[in-house]
């Protein structure tokens, strides 16, 4: 019993800390549930005497007929933008860290709303935040699966929208450029030299062609500069060597 109490107390402390840092979502921030939701036939949500006693993450407690819970701490621990923020030790309230925090919060809100609509859930709370005669489902895993896999800072070298990408690689563009003779020649020139712009176009065309080839060959939706991308699924593959090799092809 002591261990159970300690775990519950620890979880409450984490939730309390997140409330003060602005991490926990509030009802107004999540997209509203449709007026007449069409539940998933296999929905684990239960509609029976719902009583909300804890922090609401989605929807509203008043009049709720269906409910579920989500461990929002676990959601953020698997949120690529938030993982990136924490990995660099950035502030959640200013500068680059705030941008990443806002991205993480928006992604979590959208994921909560999407899962709630899928199951016809009126309200989602933190664990142990709601009771029902028939029990309440935990939808944490489903919410995590709805989050973007990648968080990218800066411009992608290949690809368009990292929020929808399923596979991304990274490369050290300087290493690739140093492997292109036209780039090495260009570095020694100034804008006043006749070959300056021709060489620049040449090395950029070669760089782009090699990057696209590797993306196509490896089935990658996008390629980012090394260090600019974080994945919630683990390390991002480095395709620098493959791009250098593609230059010779």
pLDDT tens, residue by residue, 72-87:
999 999 999 999 999 9
140 and 206 belong to one structural domain: no
Q: Compute the CA torsion angle 233, 138, 125, 78 (nearest 10 deg).
A: -10
Residue ending a domain, choose from 119, 147, 175? 147
Q: What is the extent of the structural domain holding 223?
A: 162-247
Distances (CA, A) of 82 to 18, 61, 154: 13, 28, 16
205 and 85 belong to one structural domain: no
Please name the residue ranges forming H helices in 66-148.
72-77, 80-87, 95-119, 140-146
111 and 29 belong to one structural domain: yes
List the one residue out of 190, 73, 185, 164 whose CA is nearest residue 126.
73
- With respect to residue 115, please indicate whether it lies within any of the assigned structural domains: yes
Query: In sequence order, what are the beta bridge partners of 169?
Result: 223
Residue-level pLDDT at 49: 74
DSSP character at residue 128: T
130 and 243 belong to one structural domain: no
* Total tally of structural domains belonging to the chain: 2
The band of 18, judged by pLDDT with boundaries at 50, 70 and 90, is low
- With respect to residue 156, please indicate whether it lies within any of the assigned structural domains: no
List the one residue out of 71, 75, 101 whose CA is nearest residue 86.
101
Whole-model pTM: value is: 0.81
115 and 179 belong to one structural domain: no
Query: Coil, strand or helix: which one is 169?
Result: strand
The answer on pLDDT for 57 being more than 90 is yes
The answer on pLDDT for 30 being more than 70 is no
């Amino acid at each position: 019993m002591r261990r159970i109490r300690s775990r519950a107390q620890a979880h409450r402390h984490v939730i309390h800390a997140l409330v003060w840092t602005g991490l926990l979502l509030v009802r107004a921030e999540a997209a509203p549930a449709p007026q007449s939701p069409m539940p998933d036939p296999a929905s684990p949500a239960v509609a029976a005497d719902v009583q909300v006693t804890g922090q609401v993450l989605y929807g509203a407690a008043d009049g709720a007929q269906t409910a579920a819970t989500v461990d929002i701490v676990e959601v953020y621990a698997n949120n690529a933008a938030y993982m990136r923020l924490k990995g660099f030790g950035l502030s959640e309230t200013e500068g680059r860290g705030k941008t990443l925090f806002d991205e993480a919060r928006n992604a979590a809100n959208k994921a909560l709303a999407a899962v709630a609509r899928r199951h016809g859930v009126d309200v989602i709370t933190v664990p142990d935040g709601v009771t029902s005669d028939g029990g309440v489902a935990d939808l944490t895993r489903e919410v995590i699966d709805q989050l973007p896999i990648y968080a990218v800072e800066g411009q992608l070298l290949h690809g368009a929208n990292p929020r929808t990408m399923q596979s991304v690689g990274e490369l050290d563009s300087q290493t690739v450029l140093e492997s292109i003779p036209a780039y090495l020649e260009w570095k020694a020139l100034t804008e006043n030299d006749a070959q300056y712009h021709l060489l620049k176009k040449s090395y950029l065309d070669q760089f782009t062609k090699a990057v696209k080839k590797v993306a196509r060959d490896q089935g990658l939706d996008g390629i980012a500069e090394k260090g600019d991308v974080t994945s919630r699924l683990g390390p991002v593959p480095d395709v620098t060597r493959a791009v250098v090799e593609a230059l010779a092809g």
